[in-house]
Structure 1
Amino acid sequence: MIVIFSEKLKKLMELIEPYEEYDFENGGSKLVNDAPEEVKKLFPEYIALRHKELSGLD
């Protein structure tokens, strides 16, 4: 399956993914402690947009 993300999500991914890690205790994504403030502010929008785009897939 090929997934095509929106340009907005692609840009957010490029910025945030280097600071993202899997949270094994809570079963989701989280930011590493040294993530820049800009990344911390955009993280909730990134998670919501990623969820929205992936939930549309069957």
Structure 2
Amino acid sequence: MQLQHKKQQLENRAAYYEKGDLRKRAHHLITRGAAIESVASLTKVLTETEFYTFAEKHSP
């Protein structure tokens, strides 16, 4: 019983940290997207395909 409980605790801890990493990545992507929109406001009205075309043309 104790081993099962310990195993479950470790699995829960791993899931907690993985979820945190996903939240950090999502936050990073959202803030970068907002920065792009603030600098190039026309990106707000572009379709996804148009946005990627725009990004490809303006990347180094």
Q: Considering fraction of residues, name the structure with more helix.
A: 2
TM-score, structure 2 as length reference: 0.30
TM-score, structure 1 as length reference: 0.31
Q: Considering fraction of residues, name the structure with more strand.
A: 1
Greater Cα radius of gyration, structure 1 or 2: 2
Higher relative contact order (CA 8 A, sep 6+): 1
